[in-house]
Each structure stands twice: as C-alpha cells, then as structure tokens.
Structure 1
Amino acid sequence: MNALALGLDRTRLEVKMYSREKEAVFFSFLFPILLLALFSVIFSSQFEGGDNGGMTAARYFLPGMVAAGVILTSFQTMALSVATERDDGSLKRLRSTPMPPVAYFLGKVGLVAVTSVVQLAILLLVARLAFDVPLPSGAGRWALLAGVFSLGLVGGTVLGIAYSSLSTARSIGAVVIGPQLVLQFISGVYIAFTDVPQWLQQIASLFPLKWIAQGMRAVFLPDGLAQAEMAGSWEQGRVLLVLAAWAVGGLVLCVTTFKWFKRGSV
C-alpha cells in the first residue's frame, strides 16, 4: 500500500513535469489530434460523392491517429524521458532515496495512462463534434477498443523504457523518432495499409504498431472494409494475442535491461 501511495504521488509529479515540457506535449500529445484535423480537411474532397458508404476523411484516418497516439504517449514518451533522466543523474538520485523502485515505474505507468486516456477522449470528441464521425456501436467494439488500447499502452510503455537504454539523452531523439516515423508510414497510420507494398506490410507485421492500427480499424471502420486487410478479416483475436505477447516480451526486456546509471558512471 505504501508503494502504491508513493506511485500515485509520483504519477501526479510526472504529469506536472510532463505538462511543463512544451515540445513533449506537442509531439506526443497534440500531434495526432492536429493531424486528424488537418487530414480531415485536406482529404475531404476525395471522400465526397460516389458510393463510399458514408465514409469521410475524418472517419478513415481516425483509427490511425488513435494508434499513433498510443505509441507516441507510451513508447516515445518513455524512451525520451527515461534516457534523459538517466543521463542527467535523476535516476541515480532517485535510486539513493528510500522510495521503492516500483513507485518510480508506477509513476511512469500512471503518466502514460493519464495522458493517453485524455488524448483518446479529445480525439473522439474532435472526430465526433467537429467532423460528425460515428462512435463505435455495440459493447463488442467498445470492449475491443479497451483491449487494444490497454495492451498497446502496456507494451509501448515497457518497450519504451527498455529502448531508452540503447542511447544517450543527446541522441535518443533520432534513435526513437526516425524509426518510429518509418513504422507509422508502413503500418497504415498515415496512408492506407493496402497501398503499402506487400514486403513492407510483412515488415510492419513484426512490430506492435501495425496490430494496434489494425485493431483500431476494426473498432471504427465498417465491417465491409475488413476484406482489405492482409488476412481478409480484422483478426480481432490475433490482434489481442500479438499485443499481449509484445506486452509480456517488453516487460521481460524492461526488467532485464533497465539501468539506473548512465554509461561509464560509478
């Protein structure tokens, strides 16, 4: 209970510190929301007229923006912040305090949970109120949203913490953002997954972002579009299993690779 209480206190502190970092707030929190608004306006003409089943640009791009938001608020935020805290000595100082290590990690998980839920709520509000996007219908789709969202957050958080050990604070930005942008393009976040060459689809399938995006398409898009997926269906069960496997594997990597001290420090 003491560790849990300290974790809640740490969560409040993490959220306060995060809100003061303007760059982090923009690129990991507001970026998907702004992109949804921009894509909805820029590509609106391509969805007007014809037999598109009521599909609009906002509805089409919403799943990708939700998936991108999950990765940005979990994986990217953790990788960047933990690497910075390790290099500036914050982790070393925390390790020397009576605070149990689990409280630190609970604080990070709490930060990701708070920011991600708020971001998702704003995305859905913008899509619904500004662009008249229908929200998921039926308890099944809401349950799928909760499952994909939660597993994506857990996996992204532990993988981000593990990934932070690969580089220093000075270069972690390039190490994280570059590969992540490539994955976003080949995972069906910004362009239709069907437009991605098959060999790139296979590469994307090795990483969790593709499965998060596919799960979100199953939540927000009509069932008739499932035939455009690689397997010709949403594969809801497989999506959840793959994301669960990444969450467990990421946790193992996090536990075995995490370092409190920067390279070369005593």
Structure 2
Amino acid sequence: MKLLALTELKLLVRERVGPVYAIGLPLALLIVFGNIPFYTAHHTSGSFAGRTLLGVYLPVLAAFALAALSFNVVPAVLAGYREKGVLRRLRTTPVGPARVLAAHLLVTAATAAVSVATVLLVARLAFAVALPRQAGGYVVGFLLAALALLAIGLFIAAAAPNGRVANAAGATLFYVMMFSAGLFLPLDAMPPLLRHICRASPLGAAVQALSDATDGHMPHLLQLLTLAAYAVVFGAGAVRLFRWE
C-alpha cells in the first residue's frame, strides 16, 4: 500500500491539477482576501460582530480544497483509469484495483489536509487570524467532510460513462456546492430559508461544522450526522455502481 500511495502521489504531482486546485487556489484566494481591508477589519455589528470577514471565510476555503479534489480530480482520474484499461489490467495482478483506489483516496485526503493546514497557518502568520479554538472538533468535522465529499466523487466516477461526462458532472456540482458553502455569499448573510437549505447540503454542513470548531464549539451533532449520512449513502451507491472496465 505504501508503494502504491507513493506512486499515486507522484502521478498527482506530475499532473499538477490536484495540487493547483487543492493548495494553490485556496491559498491564492486567502492572499487576495487578506489584502482587502474590508475582509480584515473587525466588524462591530451584524452577523459578523467581533470577527473579521476573512476569519469567517477560512472554513469556506477549507471546504473549497476538499470540494476541488473530490469533484474535479477524483472523478476525472478514476474515470480515466477505467477508460484507459488500467483497472481492467490490474484485476489480473496481485495488486488489484481496489488497493489502487484506496491508495488514490488516501493521497487525495492527505493532499486536502496539507491544503487546509497551509491555509490556516498562512492566515495565522500573515493576517493574524486565530487558529480553530476547538481543534478536536475541527479534525472530526474535517474527517467527516472528507468522507462525505470523496464518497460523492466516487459516485460520480462510478455513474459517469466516460471521462468527459465525469469532468462535466464534477465541475457543475463543484460550483453549485460552493454556493451552498458560502463562497459567493456567507451563510450567515443568507435569508433564513436559503441558509437552512444550504446547511443541509454536504458542503454547507461541512462549513458549519468547521465554523463551530473555529469559534470554539464542538460541531453540532446535526451537521456531523448529515455528513455521515452523505458518506454512507453515496459510498454505498458508488460501490454498487462502480465498474472496473
């Protein structure tokens, strides 16, 4: 498994898509937002009272990294493996395609973790944004969010007939989900009905869980159960639909 994971890591770095999406883009957004005074000023009224808008956006950037890998990288890579016959050929070897998938998902999750850690550290060192005050809750929320989003990515890869469809479906879902995560409009600034709908989505639940941990609270059980439900439902669907060739 270790050798497979190293191989998948080399392929991910060689293609550059994963690192750029997962690490480069969130970091670039952080730097852009961090150099806009409106985002770094402490608000004294409204839903952002006592916080900076940059601090509010950090959980969204963490979700951005997870979503970019889960929706834009995982479906394309796995559908490409199937189209090129990689998985079919591996079925005749002792390695087996299941181990390759496990190694790929392990590398993907590790890349997301590096991205989130980088964003948090740069935000702290460069823009004086506090680190999550409930570290344990943040880790739990991140892990459940990773499981849920990667399960959805696997489901797209399983259901898509080819790589082009997987790319299109993943990209479309990415932008829809990022709206529900609050990238374009913070969740706290949304009308109540829209806010509840977005928090029921996988990325909305992830952002809420990470936001709670950032503010020093354990993530609400409802958000954690929502993420776990997405992981179970889409994971089971991916297993049922996945084709090796």
CA apart distance, 1:45? 2.5
2:145 aligned partner: 152
2:44 aligned partner: 51
> Would the aligned equivalents of 1:28 and 1:76 in 2 still touch at CA under 8 Å?
no
Q: Equivalent residue of 2:35, what SS?
A: helix
Give the paired residue count. 241
Letter in 2 for 1:177: A
1:32 to 26, 40, 51: 26
Q: Does 2:126 correspond to 1:142?
A: no
Q: Could you list the per-position Cα deviations for residues 39-88 of structure 1 after superposition, in whole angstroms to 9, with x for gaps in the alignment?
A: 2223x225536626552232121111011212223343211211111112
Give the distance between the partners of 1:91 and 1:100, measured in 2 at CA: 8
Give the distance between the partners of 1:240 and 1:14, measured in 2 at CA: 30
1:182 to 166, 176, 179: 176
Unaligned 5+ segments in structure 1 are 1-6, 224-233, 262-266
Deviates more, 1:162-171 or 1:121-130: 162-171
Q: Does 2:229 correspond to 1:236?
A: no
Q: Equivalent residue of 1:133, what SS?
A: coil
> Would the aligned equivalents of 1:186 and 1:196 in 2 still touch at CA under 8 Å?
no
Percent sequence identity over aligned pairs? 27
Letter in 1 for 2:227: L
CA apart distance, 1:251? 2.0
2:202 aligned partner: 208
Which of the pair has more CA radius of gyration? 1
2:166 aligned partner: 172
1:257 aligned partner: 241
> Would the aligned equivalents of 2:22 and 2:69 in 1 still touch at CA under 8 Å?
yes
Q: TM-score, normalised by structure 1?
A: 0.81
Q: Does 2:94 correspond to 1:110?
A: no
Give the distance between the partners of 1:106 and 1:150, measured in 2 at CA: 16
Query: Taking structure 1 as reference, are residues 103 and 160 closer, same or farther at Cα in structure 2, changes over 3 Å only?
Result: same
Letter in 1 for 2:240: T
**Structure 1: 4+ residue segments shifted above 6 A:** none
